[in-house]
Structure 1
Amino acid sequence: MKKILFLTTGGTISCEVTDDGLEPKLKGADLLKAVPELRTLGDITVKDLTLLDSSNLEPSNWSAWARLIGDNYSDYDAFVMTHGTDTMAYTASALSWMLIHLGKPVVLTGSQIPLSLTNSDARSNLELAFSVAASGLPGVFIAFGNKVIKGECAKKIFTRNLNAFESVNEAPVLYFGKEGVKKNLPSRENYGGFRVEEKVEPKVMAITVTPGLEPEIIDYAVMRGYKGLVLECYGAGGVDTKHHNLLPAIRRAVKQGVKIVCVSQCLFDGVDLSLYPMGILAAQAGVKSGGPMTLEAAVTKLMWSLANQPEEEE
């Protein structure tokens, strides 16, 4: 039986109804008591990390959790983490960059409805997460609803629907539909040389490009000490190059050493800065393409790369 370290951080799955609304209250032992069949899927050890709404998580949490997984890597076969849905895609992406040559499962899950309520989706999500953990499939994943998704491809697209997450620009690792199970399994090859690079540069700002956006917002970010910017651009990577021309501000920021990455506001297909003049001009000004990455993946990768690979040429 696989040894699984069960990490809990709070979130909706652990919430109970209070006078102030839903608040995280349940710890790992409470979750296992409510879903005792999980014990049949592995030899489970519980470690409670936080009891937070995931909106209150910080980049420092990702670093601490990556270190914890690294410190316990040789003692366990897999790791399952419960997490609030609102920032789960950020955490899954961050862990994907921090856990280098990962040869074991790290599976995040949660729920849209608290486990303490009778109509909760928590039970099925926990069973899915622990099943993936017991399978030995290497990588960071989100197991939620009817999908198992690579951590850096996940995005929350519903606030209430029980299938809250979508896999962006890559098929889910597992998808359970009316036509049966569809698989897009990563290699089980043990790459070896596992290590943790958990440092993070928190001074990264995401800016959504909108009609009429003043270029000075980029200057302001630089003035406030931000080391990286992720521009969430139109379509294939367009920015305003006329009435509110962003290019001079981009050039000033790049000249001061700020790294700028572009992703698309569209959910699918990503950016291609070679397609239209606006994208070509942005690339010439120093903007790097985020390709098919989600906003969450781009933000966390930029935070990680600035701290761990500051001299890297992208």
Structure 2
Amino acid sequence: MFKVYVLYTGGTIGSAGTPLAPVSGPDFQALAGSMPGLADGRVTGQPVSYRMDWFERTLDSSDMGPPDWFAIAGRLLEHYADYDGFVVLHGTDTMGYTASALSFLLPGLSKPVIVTGSQVPLSVTPNDALANLTGAILLAGTQAIPECCVYFDSRLMRGNRAVKVSTNQFAAFASPNLPNLATVGIGVTVNRALVRPAPDPSVSLSVPANLQALRARLAEQARAAEGFSVVLLTLYPGIRPGTVEAMLAGTQPPVAGVVIQAYGAGNGPSGADFLEVLSRADARGIVLMDNTQALTGAVDSGAYATGLARAGTVGAQDMTPAASFAKLVALFSRGLAPEEVKRLMGTDLAGELTVPVDPLLL
């Protein structure tokens, strides 16, 4: 019998009332246990059992931030040795951020961690909640996928590649720059060529010493993350240098990193005043990520004269803005120097970006 740990954090899947608000953990556990296929802590007809857990305070994901990411990661590590897979129930609004963060906060992951939720609460009929919950538990228990993923509408996506694309369709998430890892229908189809390999024993969390070391480090990272901030800067026609300066200078806690949501292949205003604001931030040690507002494709910030590479930005390649944001938080919380953070932001750590192929090697 495979064992799955399910952590309910809140979100639409467990919401009720008008306006909707997340119910308590015990109430959601009772509701889930009354659903077809999930009675008695088992998935009917499958060799999978599950245990429901929760935080004392349930949240809409719009209220969640980095401290919650560390809390979720810590709770998963607390139970890591006792289960074959993990499911995190979460609101959809910031699900991509949390799934991305977990992929960076849990290096050495050797078991599935699947983040899911729903567009319609489990208490309402019809809903997408039951299928998402059941499918996520089934995948977490039976599939050897050592990654943090998002499962929605029968599709399993790499978590740091997932983007919310709809507010009113059951297919709420997509993975624009990477095919799905698996689909669930009559059976389960896994794209094994895309699934990341099991970690080396030197870092694998299946090794007790590694697990214990990461638990201690995460506690330190959570404290360190309180001392800095990461901001999102969306470019728009007519953006003023003074507006950007106000976001990056003199804030408390100080800004350590910026995810710039630029145009197209990483373009932005080419005025000297605008670029000077970014260059001064770079000189102060603020890491500037050059992401694109486009849903698909990659950044090439040196391709056009309006590219932002001249200001010291790091091209995000095909990372999502959420992945860039979460990765900056994870790296700076480790106490790394800006130059090392810059290097690692351009390095594939958890499948979050596609490493360009050197044409000379083809």
Specify if TM > 0.5: yes
Work out the CA distance in 1 between the residues paired with 2:31 and 2:102.
Answer: 23
For residues 85-96 of structure 1, what are the structure 2 equivalents within 5 Å? Answer: 85-96=92-103
Unaligned runs of 5+ in 1: none
Structure 1 stretch displaced more, 184-193 or 167-176: 184-193
Q: CA RMSD in A?
A: 2.1
Distance 1:188 1:286, change over 3 A: closer
Structure 1 stretch displaced more, 189-198 or 302-311: 189-198
Structure 1 stretch displaced more, 267-276 or 80-89: 267-276
Work out whether 1:138 is the aligned partner of 2:146. Answer: yes
Give the C-alpha shift of residue 34 in structure 1.
2.9
Which one of the candidate residues 78, 103, 111 is aligned to 1:104?
111
- Superimposed CA distance per residue, residues 220-250 of structure 1 (whole angstroms, 9 cap, x where no aligned partner): 12221211111000000001013x8421001
- Superimposed CA distance per residue, residues 188-240 of structure 1 (whole angstroms, 9 cap, x where no aligned partner): 53433235353263501101011110112232122212111110000000010
Work out the CA distance in 2 between the residues paired with 1:233 and 1:187.
Answer: 30
Work out the CA distance in 2 between the residues paired with 1:248 and 1:65.
Answer: 39
Distance 1:127 1:188, change over 3 A: farther
Give the C-alpha shift of residue 273 in structure 1.
1.4
Work out the CA distance in 2 between the residues paired with 1:217 and 1:226.
Answer: 15
Distance 1:83 1:287, change over 3 A: same
Work out whether 1:44 is the aligned partner of 2:72. Answer: no
For residues 21-170 of structure 1, what are the structure 2 equivalents within 5 Å? Answer: 21-25=19-23, 27=25, 28-38=28-38, 39-40=42-43, 41=46, 42-49=48-55, 50-134=57-141, 135-170=143-178
- Superimposed CA distance per residue, residues 268-302 of structure 1 (whole angstroms, 9 cap, x where no aligned partner): 012111211222xx213210111101111011111
Give the C-alpha shift of residue 26 in structure 1.
5.0
Q: Secondary structure at the match of 1:8?
A: strand
- Percent identity over the alignment is 34
Unaligned runs of 5+ in 2: 206-210, 344-362
Do the aligned partners of 1:218 and 1:253 also contact (CA within 8 Å) in 2? no
Distance 1:9 1:186, change over 3 A: same
- Superimposed CA distance per residue, residues 59-96 of structure 1 (whole angstroms, 9 cap, x where no aligned partner): 10101111121222112111111100001110000000
Partner of 1:230: 259
Count of residue pairs the alignment pairs up: 308
For residues 264-303 of structure 1, what are the structure 2 equivalents within 5 Å? Answer: 264-279=292-307, 282-303=308-329
Q: Secondary structure at the match of 2:151?
A: strand
For residues 244-259 of structure 1, what are the structure 2 equivalents within 5 Å? Answer: 245-259=273-287
